[in-house]
Structures are given as structure tokens and as C-alpha cells.
Amino acid sequence: MSSAATEIPGYVAGTWAIDPVHSEVGFSVRHMMVSKVRGKFEKVEGTFTTGADPLQSTVNATIDASSITTSHNDRDNHVRSEDFLHVEKHPTITFVSTGARPDGDDFLLEGNLTIKEVTRPVTLHLELNGFGPDPFGGTRAGFSAKGEISRKDFGVNFNGVIPGTNGAVVSDKVSLDLEIEGVLQQEQ
């Protein structure tokens, strides 16, 4: 029986540091029931380990909750406040993987997401983008991931109601969209 790693072109097993300059943790929420607001967290750090068997790979990431940006200062400050993320009391968001399984040509990554000290299981649809050398003599790996969470599951409950409707100003559903690049760490 062949290893799943041999079926992934250029696959490299090892431990990778997330490159925050070339990684993005993005999200979108429906606003006023008619459009989407997109944003991202500008500060993410952590590691991922690609196992000899890709299904044994792991991820451990930390996001600086105060680094949120939606390209609108007033909105960003409101999301940082007690109404939403309460970053003074809860400065980080974390993700720790608990397992992976195949999903066609891609993978499903299971893990625990913690926001405002509330931890819930999350499934991310993971696409490996590739492995290769960088111009500095190192090796890079990248993946894309998508998922969806209920913000209320994490205690992010603030909402206004649109006058004359039962519609919410901000949807409960948050779509996640990640682009992660890592640098292979040398064995010590």
C-alpha cells in the first residue's frame, strides 16, 4: 500500500513556522442582510507539522485578536470592544488541530477554535497548495482553508435589529478564509 504522502507532489514532512507576512486569516459576515463585510487578522503565528502520513499532520496557531481590520477604523474598534471580541480581556484566538481526514483530492482538518475563552470544534476544508524552495535556501509550504462558524457559539452575541424587520445587522454565520504559508524549520 502506498503512502498518501507519495501521492502529493513535492510533499515534505517536517515542522513549519507560519510566515505571517505571507499568510492571511480572513473572514466575512453578512451585513444588513444585503451584503458582506470582509476582514482579516493581520497578526498570526504558530506552527504546522506535516507528518510522514499527511493524516497525522498538526496545526497550532495563535491570532492577535486586536489585529483585526475591516478597512474601517470605527467598525474595527467596535469589533475589538466588549460588544464583540473584547480584546482587552481576550487578546488571542487560537486553533489547535485534532485530526485530519481525506476529502476527495483535499482534506478536512478538525480542530478546536477558542474565541473569548470559549472552545468549540471546527472543521476546515483544506487544500494543499504545494511545497517548494524559496530564494533564501529554505523550503516553503502553503495551504488554503475554508470553514464556517457561528459567532454566537463563541459568546459573540451583540447584534442590532434592522428597524421594520426581524433582520439582524450582523449575521451569526462567519465564513473563514485562510491562506497560510510556512517555512520549514531545520532540525536542531
- The domain that holds 8 is classified in CATH as 2.40.128.110
Q: What sign for the dihedral angle of Cα 102, 103, 104, 106?
A: negative
pLDDT at 3: 47
Q: Is the pLDDT of residue 31 over 90?
A: no
pLDDT given at position 162: 57
From first CA to last CA, the distance across the chain in angstroms is 32
Contact 32, 162 (CB under 8 A): yes
CB atoms within 10 A of CB 166: 7
- Region 128-150 average pLDDT: 95
What is the residue range of 177's domain?
Answer: 4-184
Q: What is the mean pLDDT of the chain?
A: 91
The span from the CA of 18 to the CA of 154, in Å, is 25
Domain count, the chain: 1
Q: For 56-61, what is the mean pLDDT?
A: 97
CA distance 81 to 153: 18
By percentage, how much of the chain surpasses pLDDT 70? 90
